[in-house]
Amino acid sequence: MRRFAGACRWVWNRAIGEQQRLRAAGEKFSGYAAMCRWLTAWRNDPDTAWLSETPVQAQQQTLKRLEASYRRFFEGQGGYPRFRGRGQDAGLRFPKALDCKLDTDNQRLKPPKLGWVRMRQSQPVEGTVRNYTLTQERGRWFVSIQVEQPDVMPAAGLVPTLGIDFGVKLFAATTDGECVAPLNALKRQQKYLKRVQRSVSRKVKGSKNRRKSIDRLGRVHARIAAQRNDWLHKLTTRWANEHPVIAIEDLKVAAMSASAQGTASAPGKRVRQKAGLNRSILDQAWGEARRQLEYKTAARGGAVVPVEPAYTSQRCSACGHTAKENRPTQARFACEACGHSENADLNAAKNILAAGHAVWVARPEACGAEVRRARPVRGRRAAARKQEPAESSAAQAVAPAGIPVL
C-alpha cells in the first residue's frame, strides 16, 4: 500500500510538471480528461511501466483531486498546487464499490491488486457502499467507507431542548444539569511530549535518528488526537440521541486563540500567559465538538442552533438582569437584582437555550433543517430590503411560554 501511494504521489507531481510546461509554452490548462490520457501514456511507457502495477482507479482519483485543486486556485480559493515529497501521500481512493470487495462477516477488505486484508471494523456498514479510501497515519492504515443512505426528513415541531456552554475548566455545562469535566488529552501527556520533543532537538538534522525521533513525536501527537476524538464522539453521540435540536455558542475559536505577541513596534503583554490559555482552548476542541454535533443531529432530523455568546455568562437566567457584577467568582453566579444564585456555567447554559429558542422561533424556515449563519446582504438586494414596509416585521414569532425572548 505504501508503494501504491508512492506511485499516486509520482502521478501527482508529474501532472503538475506537465501543467507548468504547458503554461510556460502559452497553452491552456488541461483538465481531467487530458490528464487521464497522459496517465495512459505513462503506464504504457517502458520507462514508467511500474505504474501499471498500481490500481488505475487510485491514480485517476489522484488526477481528479489535482484538477479540483487547480479549479480552487483559478477561483481564488486556494494556493497553487504544490509538489509532494516523500511521505506526503494523500492515500488511495477507489470510487466504485466493485473496485474494492468488503467482507463484513470476517472483517476483511480486498482492494485491487492487494488481495484480502484484515481490518478492525469499528462500526457496522449500513447502506449502499459508494467508495473506499485508504489512508496512512504514522505507520497505521485506515479505511473510510462512504455509504449512501435514505434521506432523513426533518422532524416537524422540534424546538431546542438542550443548551450547552463550553469552557476550559469545565468542558461543557448543559441545561440538564450535567457538568462535563475536560479530557485535557494534551495537558495530561505534556511532560512526556516535552521529553520526546527534546529528543528530536538533540538529533543531528538530516540524520536517520532524527527521522526516527520525528516519527515517534508524530505518533504521540496522533495518539493524543485519537484519544480526544474518541472521547468527543462518545459524548456528542449521546447528546444527539437525547436531543435532536441543540443550542450552542457561536464561538470564534480562531480569534479566541490568536497570539498576543504583537509586533516589534507594538509588542503584546502577558504573552506567555495568553499562550497557555490558547493551548488550553485548542486542547478542548470546541470546533470539532460543534462539527460532530451538526452532522449527527442532521442525521436524526434535527439541527444545531448557534447563538451569540455575548453576555450569556453575565445575564441572569431567572430575571434577565445583565451585569458583570453578577459573577463574583469564576464558578459562582449571584444575581444582584433578584438574588438568584447557582453554578455560573449552568446559568450560562440556560441563557444559551433561551437564546436558541428565540433564534429557532424567529426563523421558522430553519425549523427541522440545518441552521446557518445569515450572510450580509449587499447591493441591490440591500436597497430593496430597506424599502420593504415595516409591516413585514410583524411576522416575528413568539417564543414558547416560559422562554424569554432575548
Active site residues: 165, 249, 345
User: How far is 332 from 324, CA to CA, in rounded Å?
Assistant: 12
Q: By the 8 A CB rule, do 7 and 51 touch?
A: yes
Amino acid at 176: D
Give the other-Cβ count within 10 Å of 142's Cβ: 13
Provide the angle, in degrees to the nearest 10, between the axes of the packed helices 2-24 and 56-74: 40
Cβ-proximal residues to 24 (8 Å cutoff; 6+ apart), any chain:
none
Cβ-proximal residues to 266 (8 Å cutoff; 6+ apart), any chain:
none
User: How far is 149 from 159, CA to CA, in rounded Å?
Assistant: 25
